[in-house]
Amino acid sequence: MNMKDAPQRIRWGIVAFLIGLAIVLSILDSTGNLEGVLAFVRNPLIAVLDWTAARTDSLAGALSGPRDLQEARAEIDRLQARVNELERENEELRGVQGEAQLLLDLFNRARQTPELTRITAAVIGQDTNPAIRSIIIDKGQADGVMVGMPVEGARGLVGRVFRTAVNSSQVVLITDSASAIPARLGTSRAAGILRGGGLGGSMIIDWLDLKYQIEIGEVVATSGLGGDFPQNIAIGRVTELDRSEAELFQRAVVQPAVDFEALEIVFVITNFQPVETDIFSDLP
């Protein structure tokens, strides 16, 4: 190597380095990275610490993410359990409110006719026999229940005791096809025999005299005629009227006041004494 050419090579190397550095700085400046490089050059330790801190934060976030997700899911489960508990409490309160209203209605009914003695009975079954419309109650012979006793609910007449056992009884509903109840309309005062329509049928009062101007919505109650039921126990309301001047009589369709599918508690009237009238039906 010619030693005389060494200084010239060094100078050309420096020039090449400076040109290359200028090109690199120009590229960094155009890409927006020049400030970071200059900061590193001014204080390399701080730059290294900043880079390390950024990577550490990213790693910490990645590690804490699953833990936060698990905590969020646990909180959601806890809140859902609380919501379920509150919904259950609301259902229980609604049930208690319904029972309280039922007992209040029964109390009001008993207060309207204090002369009648009643015992409370729970409905424990519906008769599955399609030939008869009846319910089973949890009071029987041991409680003083006897065949023929009237049974009423908070809204009106339910039926009569048909059969009894020691601790239960069968009550035939007023909607049964064999039921026949002397009834009177509240406004027109027309009287007739209310007959049940059986399963799916309507209760009807036949043989009402045309002289009575019966109106839709009239209240129907027991008349007391025949001696089998006390007077003025609500039965229902007139919903339809079949009246024709060409006929001698008219008839009314009655909607019962009692919802027989929702019966829970009933009254058995124990001190009513039926009046025997059959002997007067035989002519001398």
What is the per-residue pLDDT across 121-133, written as a single tens digit (0 to 9) for each? 999 998 777 778 9
CATH no. of 118-271: 2.40.10.350
Lowest mean pLDDT among 60-64, 146-150, 258-262: 60-64
| 97 pLDDT above the threshold of 80 | no
| 45 pLDDT above the threshold of 60 | no
Q: What is the mean pLDDT of residues 262-266?
A: 90
pLDDT of residue 61: 57
Higher per-residue pLDDT: 229 or 36: 229
pTM: 0.63
pLDDT of residue 253: 95
Determine what percent of the chain is predicted with pLDDT higher than 70: 68
Q: What is the mean pLDDT of residues 29-50?
A: 58
- Give 132's contacts (C-beta < 8 A, 6+ positions apart): 172, 176, 178
Average pLDDT, whole number, for the chain? 80
| 63 pLDDT above the threshold of 80 | no
Q: Which residues of 88-116 are buried (b: 16+ CB within 10 A; e: fewer)?
A: eeeeeeeeeeeeeeeeeebeebbeeeeeb
pLDDT of residue 275: 72
How far, rounded to the nearest angstrom, does the alpha carbon of residue 88 sit from its chain's CA centroid? 12
Q: What is the mean pLDDT of residues 146-170?
A: 94
8, 111, 202, 270 from 170: Cα distances, Å: 128, 26, 22, 15
